[in-house]
Amino acid sequence: MALSMNDDTYTDTIFLTDLKVETIVGIWDWERKIRQTVSIDIELGADVRRAAVSDDIEDTLNYKKVAKRVQQFVADSEFQLVETMAEKIAQTILEEFPVPWVQIRVSKPGAIRGAKDVGVIIRREKA
């Protein structure tokens, strides 16, 4: 069955993996005084068919702009919880970019002794 370019049920995914940002995050006093590196994975709902046909960046979501916006937002912010950080990243993307949904994974490497990583994954949709 061929899909038409107007078929709103067809959704592709654009992803960014391991976007590193230095920020203030944590609940302990010492964490509030230093910048720590967080790793962010982003999945974005998109329809890439038009861009696949045209081979033109104007016909797709410019993921470089998304990455730069997230890096700026996180670097300029301070959070106690990675849960709050993930939620605010999702809200920012949904408000500023034409995507129907976003999935955010924020991890804080080395936060727990004996564990490589700890974090949260959330998925949010436009209202």
Candidate list 88, 108, 116, 126, residue with the active-site label: 108
CB 86 within 8 A of CB 120: yes
> d(Cα 106, Cα 74) in Å, to the nearest integer?
11
Where is pLDDT greater, at 39 or 113? Answer: 39
pTM above 0.85? Answer: yes
Architecture of domain 12-125: 2-Layer Sandwich (3.30)
**pLDDT above 90: residue 41:** yes
Identify whether 108 is a catalytic site residue. Answer: yes
Both tokens assigned to 111? 């936060």
* Cα distances (Å, whole numbers) of residue 29 to 21, 26, 43: 20, 8, 32
Res. 108 pLDDT band, cuts 50 70 90: very high
Other C-beta atoms lying within 10 Å of the C-beta of residue 29: 7
Residues in the chain: 127
CB 89 within 8 A of CB 69: no
Q: What is the pLDDT of residues 62-98, one digit of tens each?
A: 999 999 999 999 999 999 999 999 999 999 999 999 9
Give the domain ranges of the chain: 12-125
Which run of H or E residues covers position 101?
A: strand 101-107
**pLDDT above 80: residue 115:** yes
